[in-house]
Amino acid sequence: MSAAKEFLKGLWKENPVLVLMLGMCPTLAVSSSAKNALGMGVATTFVLLGSNVVISLVRKGIPAKVRIPCYIVIIAVFVTIVEMLMAAYAPPELNATLGIFIPLIVVNCIVLGRAEAFASKNSPWLSFLDGLGMGVGFTLALMALGAVREFLGAGTIFELQLFPKWEPFLLMKFAPGAFFVLGFFLAGMNMLRIRRARLEGRTYTPPELNCSQCNLCDLGKR
């Protein structure tokens, strides 16, 4: 039961992009098309899985004072592995578009955030599920954003044209479009939650932004 919960929380309740608001840099940069979003999501999921499991395995051997540099080294190793694997086996076109974003996974806050908030306190199995859930949640959120932006910005989804006569709204392909679409997604999330709360007969209170998801510093505990 608890294992399934650890996996499922990343998909909706604690979705890294739409709820925790982590990893905004890749979200805004790579969601310009559904295909890029999928590639970035899969690469990030692989890094999250690897780093979560390894950090969980070595969590007792690493002194608290040097834990952050150790985590960064472990994450950087996995990112470099992904980079090499993609250069060797991924379709050349995908590798060319995602190339400059892959090294940035090192500083993606989702990866370090989950290492610090979850993997450093839980068993490897639970950390694996947490990483998988968070990775899949990140991929799905990115793909949804990417599909909407690609459709509005180019009239295509996964590079397939939907309507022959479509005047593309190019702005949606650029950074402002990413902010617009993300804003509408967050508004939609809130609407759904308010409706659900009303059905259950309670008043919806938005989650407080009190750094409780993260313990990189002790500001949230004061």
Partner 1 sequence: MKDIIRLCFSLGAVCFCGAAALVYVNAKTLVPRQQAQQATLTKSLSLVLPAETSDTKTLAVAAEDGLSFFLACDAAGRPLAVAGQGSTRTGFGGEVVVLVGLERDGRIRGVMVTKHSETPGLGTKATDRKQLKSLWAVLAGKDEEVAFPPNDYLDAYSGRPAGEFVLGGGSSEQRIDGVSGATISSKAVLAAVNRVCDAYNKNHDAIWAAQ
Q: 110 and 138 in contact (C-beta within 8 Å)?
A: yes
Minimum distance of partner 1 from residue 4's CB (angstroms): 31
Pairing of strands 160-161, 156-157: antiparallel
- What span, in angstroms and rounded, lies between the C-alpha atoms of 122 and 179? 35
The verdict on 162 binding partner 1 (CB under 8 A) reads: yes
Minimum distance of partner 1 from residue 162's CB (angstroms): 5
- What span, in angstroms and rounded, lies between the C-alpha atoms of 83 and 156? 28
The verdict on 219 binding partner 1 (CB under 8 A) reads: no
- What span, in angstroms and rounded, lies between the C-alpha atoms of 119 and 123? 7
The verdict on 84 binding partner 1 (CB under 8 A) reads: yes
The verdict on 170 binding partner 1 (CB under 8 A) reads: yes
Contacts of residue 154, defined as CB under 8 A and 6 or more positions apart, other chains included, come to 33, 168, 170, 173
- Using the rule CB under 8 A, give the single segment among 21-29, 77-85, 125-133, 197-205 that binds partner 1: 77-85
* Interface of this chain with partner 1, residues 98 to 117, rule: CB under 8 A: 100
- What span, in angstroms and rounded, lies between the C-alpha atoms of 27 and 120? 25
Q: 13-42 mask for partner 1 (x: CB under 8 A)?
A: -------------------xx---------
- Using the rule CB under 8 A, give the single segment among 79-87, 116-124, 179-187, 206-214 that binds partner 1: 79-87
Nearest to 48 by CA among 100, 108, 123: 108
The verdict on 199 binding partner 1 (CB under 8 A) reads: no
- Using the rule CB under 8 A, give the single segment among 109-117, 155-163, 187-195, 210-218 that binds partner 1: 155-163
- What span, in angstroms and rounded, lies between the C-alpha atoms of 27 and 18? 10
- What span, in angstroms and rounded, lies between the C-alpha atoms of 133 and 159? 27
Q: Which residues bind partner 1 (CB under 8 A)?
A: 32-33, 58, 61-63, 65-66, 69-70, 73-74, 76-77, 80-81, 84-85, 87-89, 92, 95-96, 100, 153-154, 156-157, 159-162, 164, 168, 170, 173
